[in-house]
Amino acid sequence: MKNHLALVEKTVGFATTLLAVFLFTACFGIGRSVVNIVHYALEYPPPPAAGTAPASSAIRVERFSANAEVALTEMSRRVRPYVRDVYPRARWRAAPADMITALIVRDLREAGIYQAVLGPEEGGEARFDIEGRVEEFIRDGVGAEKPTASLVVAVIIWDQGAEGERRVALQKTYRLRETLAADDPAEFARAMSKAVEAFSRDLLRDLAAMKRTP
């Protein structure tokens, strides 16, 4: 009888040890493969100063919005008509609309077109408000020899005016494409950076023309 009880105790103890090891490995991920995610950002040099006296008014850049398809940080690809997927193990550092907003604020300040440039979270009065919506921000591999970075941004610029009456000063959709030298996330980030740089340059040119409007 004693031998039987000892055997039962040993069996229970062994099972308890196995359970403890299983729970430990499950909690701490031992034995699981680690997936490394690489995060990419938009990068390009700021524009040169405009070289002319800035407008006496201030301008505010509101936080850009985005279509649901490009609101997240996945690096999206259009592989064929009606089919989308993403680059595996690759993400944008931040949502595309947020990265573009920050770059437009930076570029406007560097260019010196307006007396003051206010970001989305900054207080103060501004005559002009820039609202933007990112409608497309994708690697497009359909209908071309090489894939392209496709960027579409719709912009509305509001003018408060001297009388305080809000009116649309500019409404425009900017469409940019840049060819990828290779089909990989790093090249997509490079090409999309060039597309955003071209968008910023076109927007600043339109804003400079607005500056001359009374």
pLDDT tens-place string over residues 191-203: 999 999 999 999 9
Give the homologous superfamily in CATH for domain 41-211: ABC-type transport auxiliary lipoprotein component (3.40.50.10610)
- In the block, which residue shows the tokens 């259009």? 78
Q: Where are the domains of the chain?
A: 1-34, 41-211
User: What would the pLDDT profile of 37-72 be if each residue is shown by its tens digit?
Assistant: 999 999 999 999 887 888 888 999 999 999 998 889
Prediction pTM value: 0.81
Residues 211, 203 contacting (CB under 8 angstroms): no
Q: What is the DSSP string of 175-192?
A: EEEEE-SSSSHHHHHHHH
Q: Using 50, 70 and 90 to split pLDDT, how confident is the model at 142?
A: confident
Element (H, E) at 168: strand 167-179
Residues 183/186/191/195 CA torsion (nearest 10 deg): 130
Q: Which one, of 66, 57, 58, lies nearest residue 123 by Cα?
A: 58
Q: What is the pLDDT of residue 213?
A: 59
